[in-house]
Structure 1
Amino acid sequence: MELIQETPDLSAYLAADEVIDHEHPLVRETAARLAQEAEDSYAYARLAFEFVRDTVPHSQDSGDLRVTWRASDVLERRTGICYAKAHALAALLRAEDIPTALCYQRLLHDDGGGHVVHGLVAVRFNGAWHRQDPRGNKPGVDARFSLAGERLAFTPDTAAGEADHPLLHAAPHPAVLHALRTATDRPHLWRILPTAL
């Protein structure tokens, strides 16, 4: 699948906003701490990915009822669903000048009723985009940071109506943000997750 930039301006994939708030002190502090352990930007990107994947539990997996959506809140509260974790990873990567996009998949809902949109990121290295999925591993899910072939949490089953969305977003999709901001808790969020973009 060819990934398509929403905007040709690469600086859009480095921008800070209300959601990917990489100018926030906690994001900056976390990025600086991770950067001290990295010998180059590739190593930093892998460390940031593993930090979000492994130290911020996916709230559905952990049973956490809180809903987070702003990157700094995800890092502070250490919880979030796929979108929130993608926002946190995007902020950490952009904080170190690594162009990062938000991207999405359409997957079967965990409850078996229809489809939902799943969020992940893409990082740009060596003139190409590479998708990464920091949702968090669990039995049956083994996502890894990779610039040599995708190691995502999920591979869409086209026969089941699942799909990859090729568009690389500079900011979170409005449908995703609406669900995150509207939900009173995670069970409520699970009922109002976007089913399409």
Structure 2
Amino acid sequence: MILILAVIGGFVVAVTVLHVLWKLVNGFRVHVIGQYVDLKQKYGSWAVVTGCTDGIGRAYAHELARRGINIVLISRTLEKLKKTAKEIESLHGVQTKIIAVDLSGTKAAIEAVKNQLGDHPVHILVNNVGSLSSYPKSLTEDTEKETWDTLSLNVVFTTLMTKLILPRMKDNGRGAIVNVSSISEASPWALFNVYAATKVS
């Protein structure tokens, strides 16, 4: 019996150590080695970033620009887009293009993006835009509009945006797509359950 417990304990320790080592190696690969990858050479010179004027999306836009990638900025507020574009051009010396669209009206939004983007080259797509309820509440308290808005923006628009850009990447023979997830998909968020479900990576 003691031998069996010792074997089980040893197995658990080994799995834990391997898991930690994998995390360390992967972290080193992404955050250290990844800094030396020439994204422009590997993927191409233009990226699209949705939801790019605040938070994670803004950080993605700046980081890609810092590494020499030109940025198509897509978000709702024109003034914030202009400010972000000016910052990026001034700090990083790259080109920008702005597309101001209310992304919550999915069908109209994707048509507007398609029309304004035209045949512009896109090599990297960052699907960052997202929506959640205005405050924590159960599904039964959510209005139908809030539920539709969350599903439309987080799932439908992201899917249609990918569908729009993917053929360009196939034609180029290269490309990268980043779908920004959320920690909420990995642990229960009882009062943001629709949002959490739409952010599963």
TM-score range, shorter chain: under 0.3
Structure having the larger proportion of residues in helix = 2
Larger Rg: 2
- TM norm structure 1: 0.27
- TM norm structure 2: 0.26
Higher relative contact order (CA 8 A, sep 6+): 1
